[in-house]
A and B are shown apart, each in its own frame.
Chain A
């Protein structure tokens, strides 16, 4: 049973914690993040700036900047624990079995190297092939990533290309060794909406071919467009996890609800943009109890005392909230306490 699960799930994060040392102890930027990215599906990770989305991606790719570090949990790539691997072993998996696309295609390509050579490099690092063979693979991949006239683009420098083209090059670079896992860290943030739609379609295509995709975004539109499952993050914790329909249809966590109602729509007709009051808390001084409680519209007395645990409210739908039903604030009933103990 567990074997079968591991087969399907390409990436499993199990209670991943990461932090930066601070004057008093440690600032925990990832707090027991658990999620899984299945083969052939796009898993979304949403949240405000600074909630730990990118940190999660960096932790998986071993790119956390000094002095930050992973402090606990496990990262399983097809059942192999990345954190217990030797450095070199882990490096050899990067690019071959998992790859990442970065937020800003303007700065994620080496400005003094031909883009074709940069894609070649990904092939040459992992496979013992000739340069000619690497070039052939590169051209094939550029074509697949929707780069027009790849033969000519191969010899371009990054500054000669548009943002959309550069992001396609990045995708080609990440995908050229056919990795099983693709992490896209806000791949469309720096692009205009037309190009964004094209890039998202491309991701969808990649996942249809069997790649597991982890799409990180703060853009709910992009998430709604392509994802199969979504995790919502707040202050370093995952607060809600569900498949896309459930999440958009029956969001249960007040934060998710706030996010969804804050999306502006051209057809809404309303002139006022709904917002979540307050600010993201300082991770060094998280409020007691639920991290979201100071901004929550339906907090009860208990929210400020008890840290909620992740619990499943229906199959595949998990939330980190004490709130049971609309209209009933936590602490007004004693029921939650028992539910929590069981968890």
Chain B
């Protein structure tokens, strides 16, 4: 009786078996063609997300202006002209002059060197540091996890301004120390997010599949886990860049960041504050620059996330 049953099972299968020609599996698969080069990827972003494309252009333009600052303006960063203090925008000074008679446009261009660098460099450093430590904590667990995450907790629990002040007071002002401070302030939150992503990914089947074919743990971390964390980290990056720009302005305001007469956007906003009634452009112009930079980074982040994550690709 059971022999009969077995035959039935098998013949049920024969019955359902595909005809020899078989349905073509290619038709089932989406056909998205060849691998993308970086150029193609950018083109696709331009097509799919106009706003982020514009943002990218704005950022590139800013960087270009930063590099070309000495060529673009006839004035020097710290050239004073006490006879022309607090002049409104005019043909000679497109964005007016400040309380020392310095050209605001010139200072804006030179200030963007500091602000963009402070936005990007320490954020990148803290991302790399935080992501590495976070992924290690998540993947190895046990004491590695404990040590790294308790360190992160200390950083996160410490009032960040206080930490920054301690570092800046002991080490002094200046660009390099601002980088160091911002990196140390920001890696904790990155590590936390990277760790939680890793905990999720560690249990996923593709990581187990990689382990089952003998891939070593570092390769799993760098080839399987980190790339899958990337979309999240990119979004975090675009949130952290503007935050870093703003933190730098606060530090400069407290006299701990960039020292006058050097220029940074934050410093310009803060010195312009005293002349808000008579010369509002002193604060407005750098504020607008900060806003444009911050927004551009945010929009760029959105666009990048969409194109970098193959799962979100439009089909």
Q: Which residues of A contact B (CB under 8 A)?
A: 61-63, 65-66, 91-96, 99-100, 102-104, 107-114, 118, 121-122, 125-126, 148-149, 152-153, 155-157, 159-162, 164-165, 170, 173-174, 177, 193-194, 197-198, 220-221, 224-225, 248-251, 257, 260-261, 263, 265-268
Bound form: Cα–Cα A109–B230 in Å: 17
Query: What are 9 A-B pairs with beta-carbon distances under 8 A?
Result: A93-B214, A110-B228, A113-B223, A121-B210, A148-B25, A194-B16, A249-B3, A263-B9, A265-B8
CB distance from B103 to the nearest CB of A (A): 48
- Contact: B205 with A107, CB < 8 Å? yes
Question: Can you add 6 more A-B contacts, CB < 8 Å, to A96-B214, A224-B9?
Answer: A100-B209, A111-B311, A112-B230, A148-B25, A162-B28, A250-B2
Please pick, from B6, B32, B210, B228, the residue contacting A224 in the complex, using a CB distance under 8 A: B6
B residues 214-271 near A (Cβ < 8 Å) are 214-216, 219, 223-224, 227-228, 230
Using CB atoms, name the residue of chain B closest to A117: B223
Bound form: Cα–Cα A280–B29 in Å: 39
- Contact: B6 with A112, CB < 8 Å? no
CB distance from A197 to the nearest CB of B (A): 5
B34 within 8 A of partner (CB): yes
Using CB atoms, name the residue of chain A closest to B310: A157
Bound form: Cα–Cα A71–B135 in Å: 30
- Contact: A248 with B2, CB < 8 Å? yes
CB distance from B75 to the nearest CB of A (A): 49
Using CB atoms, name the residue of chain A closest to B229: A112
- Contact: A102 with B209, CB < 8 Å? yes
Bound form: Cα–Cα A174–B311 in Å: 24
| Interfacial chain B residues near A155, Cβ < 8 Å | 34-35
Using CB atoms, name the residue of chain A closest to B18: A194
- Contact: B309 with A114, CB < 8 Å? no
Q: Which residues of B contact A (CB under 8 A)?
A: 2-3, 5-6, 8-13, 15-18, 22-26, 28-32, 34-35, 141, 203-206, 208-216, 219, 223-224, 227-228, 230, 309-311, 313, 315
Residues A111 and B228 in contact in the complex (CB < 8 Å), given A125-B216, A248-B3, A248-B6: yes
- Contact: B213 with A63, CB < 8 Å? no
Please pick, from B8, B22, B219, B224, the residue contacting A125 in the complex, using a CB distance under 8 A: B219
Bound form: Cα–Cα A268–B204 in Å: 41
CB contacts between A and B, total, < 8 Å:
163
Residue among B32, B35, B206 facing the most chain A CB atoms (10 A cut-off): B206
| Interfacial chain A residues near B209, Cβ < 8 Å | 100, 102, 108-109, 170, 173
CB distance from B234 to the nearest CB of A (A): 12
Using CB atoms, name the residue of chain A closest to B11: A267
- Contact: A160 with B205, CB < 8 Å? no
Using CB atoms, name the residue of chain B closest to A225: B13
Residues A112 and B25 in contact in the complex (CB < 8 Å), given A102-B209, A121-B213, A170-B209: no
| Interfacial chain B residues near A249, Cβ < 8 Å | 2-3, 6
Using CB atoms, name the residue of chain B closest to A177: B213
- Contact: B213 with A94, CB < 8 Å? yes
- Contact: B9 with A220, CB < 8 Å? yes
Please pick, from B2, B28, B31, the residue contacting A251 in the complex, using a CB distance under 8 A: B2
Bound form: Cα–Cα A62–B208 in Å: 10
- Contact: A224 with B206, CB < 8 Å? no
Residues A112 and B12 in contact in the complex (CB < 8 Å), given A160-B29, A164-B28, A173-B209: no
- Contact: B17 with A197, CB < 8 Å? yes
| Interfacial chain A residues near B12, Cβ < 8 Å | 221, 265-267
Please pick, from A63, A157, A248, the residue contacting B208 in the complex, using a CB distance under 8 A: A63
- Contact: B8 with A109, CB < 8 Å? no
Using CB atoms, name the residue of chain A closest to B31: A160
Residues A99 and B213 in contact in the complex (CB < 8 Å), given A108-B206, A108-B208, A224-B10: yes
- Contact: B213 with A197, CB < 8 Å? no
Bound form: Cα–Cα A221–B17 in Å: 12
- Contact: B29 with A161, CB < 8 Å? yes
Please pick, from B18, B228, B310, the residue contacting A197 in the complex, using a CB distance under 8 A: B18
Residues A165 and B311 in contact in the complex (CB < 8 Å), given A91-B216, A108-B208, A173-B209: no
- Contact: A104 with B205, CB < 8 Å? yes
- Contact: A122 with B213, CB < 8 Å? yes
Residues A113 and B213 in contact in the complex (CB < 8 Å), given A155-B35, A267-B8: no
- Contact: B212 with A63, CB < 8 Å? yes
Bound form: Cα–Cα A316–B177 in Å: 76
Bound form: Cα–Cα A247–B57 in Å: 70
- Contact: A160 with B32, CB < 8 Å? yes
| Interfacial chain A residues near B9, Cβ < 8 Å | 220-221, 224-225, 263, 265
- Contact: A112 with B228, CB < 8 Å? yes
- Contact: A165 with B5, CB < 8 Å? no
- Contact: A111 with B35, CB < 8 Å? no
- Contact: B206 with A109, CB < 8 Å? yes
- Contact: A148 with B206, CB < 8 Å? no
- Contact: A193 with B25, CB < 8 Å? no
- Contact: B311 with A126, CB < 8 Å? no
Bound form: Cα–Cα A193–B12 in Å: 11
| Interfacial chain B residues near A263, Cβ < 8 Å | 5, 9
Residue among A110, A159, A257 facing the most chain B CB atoms (10 A cut-off): A110
